[in-house]
Amino acid sequence: MKRLDMTSPAARLDDAFSRLEHAWHETRQQWNDPVAERVEEQYIATIRARVRTLLDAVAKSQTLLRKAEYECQHPRERTQQL
């Protein structure tokens, strides 16, 4: 049975967001006015919260999927994995 892998896409998302955060930090070194603050609040903070929520959900889903997969296996298959 083919396993569902959400770890790799989640890692790519985390990496992409880290690069965005780094670029935003560099930008804020030069751009420090009310418009930059608005961009931070309306976009960056919103994206940050959504990415963190999504990554938490992926981690929880992976745990549940592994458990469900294990429980659906025949007892002989379970002992082969140990």
* Domain of 15, in residue numbers: 7-81
Residue 1 domain-assigned? no
Residue 61 domain-assigned? yes
Closest to 26 (Cα-Cα) out of 38, 35, 14, 18: 18
Residue 2 domain-assigned? no
Give the whole-number percent of the chain exceeding pLDDT 70.
Answer: 90
pTM given for the model: 0.76
Residue 48 domain-assigned? yes
Q: What is the pLDDT of residue 1?
A: 53
Residue 57 domain-assigned? yes
Residues of the chain by 3-state class (helix, strand, coil), percent to 5 = 85, 0, 15
Residue 70 domain-assigned? yes
Q: What is the pLDDT of residue 16?
A: 97
Helix axes 7-30 and 45-72, enclosed angle (nearest 10): 170
The total number of structural domains that make up the chain = 1
Q: What is the pLDDT of residue 21?
A: 97
Distances (CA, A) of 55 to 33, 59, 76: 31, 6, 33
Residue 71, token pair as written in the block:
């429980």
**pLDDT per residue over 4-43, tens digit each?**
778 899 999 999 999 999 999 999 999 999 999 999 999 9
The conformation of residue 32, written as its DSSP 8-state character, comes to -
